[in-house]
Each structure stands twice: as structure tokens, then as C-alpha cells.
Structure 1
Amino acid sequence: MSTLGAIFKSFSGIHGFTRSLDNLSHNLSNINTPGFKGKDVLFRDMASNTEGAGVRHSGEKLRFTQGDIVSTGRDTHLAIDGNGLFVLTDGDKKVFTRAGQFELKNNKLVDSASDLAVQAIKVDNLHQQVLDISAYQYQPPKPTTSISLSGNLKADAPVDSVYPAEDNSSELSFEVYDNQGGKHKFTVSLKKIANKEWQLFVKNSNDVDMLKDANNKIKFNVGGLAIDSKLEFSIKDLQGNDQTIQINIGNGLQGITSLTGAQSKALVKVDDGAPKGDIKSLSFDRHGYLEITYTNNEKVKPYQVLLANVPETQLESIGNGMFAASENAEITYGKPNNGVFGVIRGGSIEQSNINMSKEFAEIVVVQRGYQATAQLINVTSQMLEELYNSTRGR
């Protein structure tokens, strides 16, 4: 080995340690970057039988280990616990990320840093598309179609008994919704008119009975169970359209009964109907389903977040916490909590996977290596100076 060769080898070491230090500084500077994946610098030795022997930089490898998941309290923030990547698009190309710092902008779920739209699966047609809630800004009103009576009317109560009693301050009332979402309040009372027969009254806020005389009787069999009959009444919506509401009275012991020994206590349950609802909250479950809750307590699940699986050797970091796949990458798309894909943690983000202790340990190794290699250059330089001086007769 020549003296100059030793200098060239030492310079290659200096270059390698500089690349390592540069990579370590990049990793540590992103220790608080959500979804950041550290890199490891790869080196290879050069042929030792050549004057150019030493070390060469042969590339970098993404470190795709899982980062810690922390809660942020933001409904649109998502983290993947396990394998998978979120899919982002600008309409022409797709990129991937683990960052999960998403927000709603113009009713679309987008990456906060790049404004690229998050891809999802439309639940009703299984198509991949941008998660867009424009069509789900409100829930249309649902008209009430039926109410149900349950409880008991005392079988041995005298004829002309009224429930609730006139001196009873508790009111048996209910509210229904019309086709336009308008709310209508009614009160219910019952009067015993014969053995095993009661008359039903449904009165509106103006104390007008909504039932016709021929359609307001509840009869019971010898066992005290209601004999099912068609009871109904009509209301008008804001446009004057009629809306019929069915009154369900008979479902065995679950319906209205007339039993001896039990006090009178009836209940009215509104079976359906809801006013117009605006968005109250958004959330994502472990399967990646977006659930929208409305002010009328209605809920819908229109989308499921799309995940992708790409071999890490076929991914390249392009900044902003995003990765691009190589041209012939083997990309697999799927649903969270299914197959190889991890679960979704809503209201959370994945932190950087950088281990500070490990990085600082690497820095110490690089520093010592750099010092040793620099000392080699210094020693070799002194040897060359001695050689130079000897040729001058010193």
C-alpha cells in the first residue's frame, strides 16, 4: 500500500462519516415530525487490491418501524396501528403517508401539509374515491309513521275510569315529526267504557281529538291482551299534506294489557321520525369507517379509509411526510383491520420512529471514527513530510 493510497482511503472514510453525520442530523431534526421514518446509511468496502480502496456510500434504507401513537383530540387525525399507508392523491398521481394529520377543507379530507386528498372506499359501491362529505352536510327529516302503546290498564277499574286520572299531574304525551321536519305534540288519555274495553283519545295542542269515534276503541281478550286493531290518526305538514300515523297496541305482554292486580300505568313510544339534522360530530372507528353524527341523533357511515401496502424497498421519501412508489412497485390496496393492514386509531397521530438514545450512540461512534480517520490523515501527512525532507538532505 502506498502512502498516498492511505490518504485516499482515509478521505473516503471522512466522506463516509460525514454522510452518516448528515443522516443522523436529518433523523434527529425530525424527531417530532408525525409519521416520520428514519433512514439508515449503507456503506460498502471497495476492493482492497486497488489504490482506490476504502469505503463507499451505497445508499440509504428507510426504517419502517412503528412510531408511538398519541392522542391529539382532533377527530380528523388518524394513525395506523400496524401495517399500511394512507393514500393521497391530487387527481393525477398517488402518494403515500403515515403522518395522518388530516383536516376537512371544502368538505374533503385532505393532508394538512400538502392539501392532497385522502382516498377512501365508498361504502355503498366499494369504489375508491376522495373522501368528500359534500353530500352529507345534513340529514333530511324523517316523518313519524307509527307510535306504540305499552303498559297496563287495570282490569278491575270501574267503568268511566280515566287514565291518567284527572287529579294526576303526570301527562302522557309524545311528539311526532311531519314530512318537512315540523314537530307536533300530542297527549294521550284512555277511558274505560265497558268490561275489557277502553276508549283512546289523542289530542293535539289545541285539545282537539285526532281519532274518529269509530276508530278509537281498544278491546282485550280474556287473558288481558289487546286485540290488535287498526288505530291511526293523521296530521298535516307545513304544506297541508296529510300524513298518517299508525298506533300499535298489541304485541302480547309487550303491548298494552289489561290485567287484574296491576295498577294502571301506560307508556307511549314514538317508533321513528326525526327533524332535519346538521353535522354534530365526526369520528373514525378501528375499521376506518367515517361515522357522521347529526343533531337529530341520526348516524351514517358513508366511507371507509383506504390503505395501501408497498414494500419499503420500493418507496422513496419525497418530503412532507410522504412517500412515492417506484415505477413498478407492487402496491396492494385494502381495508383497515383486514389481512395485513393495521387498525385505525381516530383522534390520534403516529409519532416519529426515531429513538434518540440510539441516534446519540451512533453520533458517538461517528465522532470517534471521524477522529481516528483524521488522525490517520495527519500521521500519513507527517510521513510524507519526513520523506520530502529526506530527499532534501535533512
Structure 2
Amino acid sequence: NPDGTTAGGIQDISVAGLASQARATTTATLKGNLQSDAPLITGGFDPTSFQTAFATSNFSTSARTFDSLGKAHDVSVFFTRTGTNAWDVHYGVDAGDTGGTPGALQIVGNGTLTFNSDGTVATTGGNTASVTFSGATAQTITFNLGTAGNLDGMGQFASPSGINFVSQDGFGSGGLVSLNVDSRGIMTGTFDNGQTRPLFQLAIAHFAAPEGLTPSGNQLYRASVDSGPAAIATAGSQGNGTIVSSALEQSNVQIAQEFIDLISTQRSFQANARVITASDSLLGDLINIIR
């Protein structure tokens, strides 16, 4: 399960066709600076088009978000200074993404942002975007611009406006690219959308008398009356050992010692062969003397 718990019984593991399901964006975080002495915009923000929105905002940026189908969409964020330490924030998307006219601006949310005299956030209001992208389910995106009294989001200082960090919690669908097995036998998949999640947990069979297992060929063994039935559990539990990932079991044969034993056996054979040859020679001489 996504929370790490296991579900279901023992079954064969197959990773063919495994994919990471897309997740729609629900939250986005912006960190950066808004210029404290930016000029006030005469007439305020004009959302008629992208052109007027850019012209009537002091600063704009965008956040890449995902819908429920995993398709990426850019949400434009417009900051307009309205007074001392006070800003309006507007969120817009290309209307073509929602079934409207491509290239037209569709405002999907707004909010406010005020700052303290030290540049930290004082209050935030609204700052959510509600949108239904074409073919996807409706979604609401909450924009985190910082917490009161902290510099963990947007700040307001005399330097030029800019964004240095954007994050969000959505992602597109992805295919499996690699697997990793930890010491508990949990197989974790890594997908090409950057996500990782646990997929399976290996089951281990434990026998009361493993020496009683019956060979079945190809280095495989099966349970027998002597071995007792298999006790199925997970790694590190009920007497089972842990798993070492990406490792081959080492042979229990010491190659150096085997070579020493082989040479010793060869020498013994040669010595015994000489004894037999000498005995044959003596017996031959004895027979000749008798004759």
C-alpha cells in the first residue's frame, strides 16, 4: 500500500507493466522577493489578457502544475503592489487548457499578501486557484506564500523582485525504471516521473530441518517429510535472516585449500605408484632367481 503496509496473500511477483499513477497538484510553494519600493500601478490589475496582466502587475512568475490525468499546465502568478507592504495576487491559466480560447487569459484565483516592516510575511489571504482542465477532474490548488513572521516563503525587500524556489506536490504518470530490495525484503520501485514507492515484500520459507529438503534439480529443493512443512514469513522475523540486495551467495568451497588437497592427492598417488612399480620389479627379480 502507499502507506507502506502490506496487503493480500502470497503470490508470484510480476513487475511487467507497473506504472506510477498521476497525481493532481493540490499545493504549490513559492519562495522569493517582492521589491518593497515597486511603483503603484495606476488603475490596478487588468486581467483582460496576458498582455494587460503583465503590464499591470509589478512582477509575474509561473508554477508548473499537474491535473488528474498527469498533464502539465502552467499557472501564471501576478503580483501587484497596492500600497505600503500590501500586494494583490492573481492566478491565471491559458483558457485553451480548460476548453476555452487558446492564448486567452483565464483568472482562476486570487489572494492578498502583506508584509511586516522587517520584510517577513504579515498576512496571507485567499491564494487558492480552482480550475478544471480539459478532460480532468476539478481541482483546487493552494499556494503557500509563507507563514506570518517568517522568511519561509515570499519576502519584501528593496532588491529586485524574483523567485528562487517553486515546488508542488503533483506529478505525471511514470513507468518503472529500477527496483531495489532492502534488508526486510521490501521491493521499492523508482519511476521515470521521479517517484519511488514500495511495491512488494518478499516471502521467505523456513524449515525445521533444512537438511531434509529433497533436491529437485537446478539447485532447487522441495519440502519433504524429513524437512517438515514450510513456515512462510518475512525477512528478519520468526528466525529468518535478512536479505542482502544485489549480492551473489558465496561458494562454501575454499579454492586455495582445494588446490592444496588436489596436489597432495596427486603426490600420494605418484608415491603409491612408485611403491607398486618397485614391488613388481622385486617380484620379477625373485621369479628370475627361482628359475
Describe how 1:87-98 pairs up with structure 2 within 5 A. none
> Secondary structure at the residue paired with 1:210?
strand
Which of the numbers 288, 292, 314 marks the counterpart of 2:185? 288
Residue in structure 2 matched with residue 255 of structure 1 by the alignment:
153
Greater CA deviation, 227-236 or 310-319? 310-319
Q: For residues 230 and 328 of structure 1, do their structure 2 counterparts lie closer, same or farther at Cα, with a shift above 3 Å needed?
A: farther
Residue in structure 2 matched with residue 172 of structure 1 by the alignment:
61
Q: Given residue 140 of structure 1, which amino acid in structure 2 is its aligned partner?
A: Q
CA distance in 2, matches of 1:268, 1:191: 20
Residue in structure 2 matched with residue 191 of structure 1 by the alignment:
80
Q: Given residue 157 of structure 1, which amino acid in structure 2 is its aligned partner?
A: A
Residue in structure 2 matched with residue 314 of structure 1 by the alignment:
212
Q: Quote the offset at 1:247 in angstroms.
A: 1.9
Q: Quote the offset at 1:317 in angstroms.
A: 4.6
> Secondary structure at the residue paired with 2:22?
coil
CA distance in 1, matches of 2:244, 2:235: 6
CA distance in 2, matches of 1:380, 1:318: 48
Q: Quote the offset at 1:191 in angstroms.
A: 1.2
Describe how 1:136-151 pairs up with structure 2 within 5 A. 137-151=18-32
Describe how 1:177-256 pairs up with structure 2 within 5 A. 177-205=66-94, 206-211=103-108, 215-221=110-116, 224-239=120-135, 241-252=137-148, 253=150, 254-256=152-154
Q: Which digits, 9 at most, give the CA deviation of each residue in 1:186-239, with x for residues without a partner?
A: 322211112222122323242514245xx4332335664241322222222332
Q: Quote the offset at 1:312 in angstroms.
A: 5.7
CA distance in 1, matches of 2:215, 2:225: 14
Residue in structure 1 matched with residue 100 of structure 2 by the alignment:
none
CA distance in 2, matches of 1:355, 1:367: 18
Which of the numbers 327, 346, 352 marks the counterpart of 2:225? 327
Contact between 1:123 and 1:303, CA under 8 Å: does it hold in 2? Answer: no
Q: Quote the offset at 1:178 in angstroms.
A: 0.9
Q: Which digits, 9 at most, give the CA deviation of each residue in 1:276-314, with x for residues without a partner?
A: 111122222344321211121111112233344555633
Q: Quote the offset at 1:326 in angstroms.
A: 4.4
Contact between 1:172 and 1:268, CA under 8 Å: does it hold in 2? Answer: no
Pick 1 or 2: higher relative contact order, CA cutoff 8 A, min separation 6.
Answer: 1
Q: Which digits, 9 at most, give the CA deviation of each residue in 1:340-387, with x for residues without a partner?
A: 6244132x42353433332232233444555677788899999999xx
CA distance in 2, matches of 1:363, 1:277: 56
Unaligned runs of 5+ residues in structure 2 are: 45-53, 95-102
Q: Given residue 219 of structure 1, which amino acid in structure 2 is its aligned partner?
A: T
Q: For residues 241 and 356 of structure 1, do their structure 2 counterparts lie closer, same or farther at Cα, with a shift above 3 Å needed?
A: closer
Aligned residues: 260
> Secondary structure at the residue paired with 1:175?
strand
Q: Given residue 282 of structure 1, which amino acid in structure 2 is its aligned partner?
A: L
Q: Quote the offset at 1:174 in angstroms.
A: 1.7
CA RMSD of superposed structures (Å):
4.1
Q: Quote the offset at 1:143 in angstroms.
A: 0.6
Q: For residues 383 and 327 of structure 1, do their structure 2 counterparts lie closer, same or farther at Cα, with a shift above 3 Å needed?
A: farther
Residue in structure 2 matched with residue 160 of structure 1 by the alignment:
41
Q: TM-score, normalised by structure 1?
A: 0.53
Contact between 1:314 and 1:329, CA under 8 Å: does it hold in 2? Answer: yes
Describe how 1:372-387 pairs up with structure 2 within 5 A. none
Q: For residues 364 and 220 of structure 1, do their structure 2 counterparts lie closer, same or farther at Cα, with a shift above 3 Å needed?
A: closer
Q: TM-score, normalised by structure 2?
A: 0.69
Q: Quote the offset at 1:185 in angstroms.
A: 1.5
Q: Given residue 131 of structure 1, which amino acid in structure 2 is its aligned partner?
A: I
> Secondary structure at the residue paired with 1:202?
strand
Contact between 1:139 and 1:277, CA under 8 Å: does it hold in 2? Answer: yes
Contact between 2:180 and 2:245, CA under 8 Å: does it hold in 1? Answer: no
Greater CA deviation, 198-207 or 371-380? 371-380
CA distance in 1, matches of 2:273, 2:189: 63
Contact between 2:60 and 2:79, CA under 8 Å: does it hold in 1? Answer: no
> Secondary structure at the residue paired with 2:23?
coil
Describe how 1:57-76 pairs up with structure 2 within 5 A. none
Contact between 1:216 and 1:231, CA under 8 Å: does it hold in 2? Answer: yes
Greater CA deviation, 320-329 or 176-185? 320-329
